[in-house]
Amino acid sequence: MSLSVNELQQDAKLLTLEELQELNTFVVDRIKYERTRLAQKMKRQLFVGSKVSFEDNDGFTAHGKVVKIMRKYAKVDTGAAIWRVPLNRLAKVA
């Protein structure tokens, strides 16, 4: 049975401080796991010269080519600058 976010929020109000800390640890670990999984999936799809897009610091979509692929990041040349972007934030452009 799947609970909605609102139901989870209501249930969290009844938890003790220790239970909230345990829940927080679980949620943070789950987020890290999902980000790592997405980064690994993207890393398998990328190679130097791949065209990618990502959201820059101002919220605009930037497009560029991959210059270097590292463990968790890729260097992307947008023409105006070279960005160091987390792999899980990249989207491959067809």
Nearest to 65 by CA among 53, 57, 73: 53
Q: How many domains does the chain have?
A: 1
Mean pLDDT by 10 residues, the chain (94 residues): 82 91 95 92 92 92 96 94 93 89
Domain that holds residue 55: 5-92
pLDDT at res. 10: 87
Structure letter (DSSP) for residue 13: T
Say which residues have a Cβ less than 8 Å from residue 36's Cβ, sequence separation at least 6. Answer: 88
Residues 6+ apart with CB under 8 A from 8: none
- Report the CATH number at residue 74: 2.30.30.140
Sign of CA dihedral 54, 59, 62, 66: negative
Claim: this prediction has a pTM higher than 0.85: no
